[in-house]
Amino acid sequence: MSKLYVEYLNLKKENSNQLYLFKSGIFYIALEDDAKRLSEIFDFKLINLNESVLKCGFPQKRLEFYSNKLNSLNISFQIVDSNYSKINNYSDYLNNMKIKDIIELLIN
């Protein structure tokens, strides 16, 4: 069982109604029931994380678009990013991600 899936299960025990988006590389992914839900809403293709776990997701550059859509649909979601302890303010998180992208561009 993957570390990501174990974290998903633990979070779902705390709040089964919350949709969890995990930062994974340059993507945000949802697992299992959350992936099925996102797939229904946005027509995302479901693929396998492993032989028994479904996932779907979108590129990090589209986070603002999809988080706005989820908010407009009154869908409660939480971003899980291992670089942050807990994300409470999505506006600050989005701004920090944009600043990080700009800094990476300047360095390169």
Domain that holds residue 26: 3-107
Question: What total of structural domains would you count in the chain?
Answer: 1
pLDDT of res. 48:
92
Residue 30 is part of a domain; what is its CATH number? 3.40.1170.10
Q: Which residues contact 105 (CB under 8 A, 6 or more apart)?
A: none
Q: What is the pLDDT of residue 91?
A: 65
Mind listing the pLDDT tens digit for each residue in 14-51?
999 999 999 999 999 999 999 999 999 999 999 998 88
What confidence score (pLDDT) does residue 108 get? 82
pLDDT digits 0-9 by tens, 52-102: 899 999 999 999 899 999 999 999 999 998 775 556 566 666 666 677 777
pLDDT value at 3 more than 70: yes
Residue 52 has what pLDDT?
Answer: 87
